[in-house]
Amino acid sequence: NAGVTQTPKFQVLKTGQSMTLQCAQDMNHNSMYWYRQDPGMGLRLIYYSASEGTTDKGEVPNGYNVSRLNKREFSLRLESAAPSQTSVYFCASSAHRDTQYFGPGTRLTVL
């Protein structure tokens, strides 16, 4: 099993450009999550999906959209990137409200 995979690993954008971060899990988990991690800020939840077909806002949803494409895939879209969105983005999944399994992260720089 690959666990949680994320693409791309690194990305540099210019202000105003758009992009989609992809996440997939092969553990048949119901719940999936998107976090951002900034220096000294820990992880902050952007959006989550408790089950296929549902999505909910987390702590910092502004400037992002998500799509739960199917049970395996959960994508995060930046419609118009801003320098404040420079961060490391992590996707995670879980079977229930317990252990979360994390992907390796996407390092995004917005110039």
Query: Of 77, 30, 34, whose CA–CA distance to 53 is shortest?
Result: 30
Question: Minimal CA–CA distance to 78: which of 91, 67, 65?
Answer: 65
Cβ-based nearer residue to another protein, 14 or 53: 53
Minimum separation from the CB atom of position 2 to another protein (A): 13
Contact set with another protein (CB under 8 A): 4, 31, 33, 35, 40-45, 48, 50, 56, 58, 90, 92, 97-105
Query: Closer CB to another protein, residue 28 or residue 51?
Result: 51
Quick one: 73 or 102, whose CB is closer to another protein? 102
Smallest gap from residue 94 Cβ to another protein (A) = 8
Q: What is the dihedral of CA 94, 99, 103, 106, to 10 degrees?
A: 100
Least Å distance between CB 13 and another protein? Answer: 20
Three-state SS sequence of 53-69? CCCEECCCCCCEEEEEC
Give the tokens for residue 31.
Answer: 């719940």
CB of 16 to another protein, least distance (A): 28
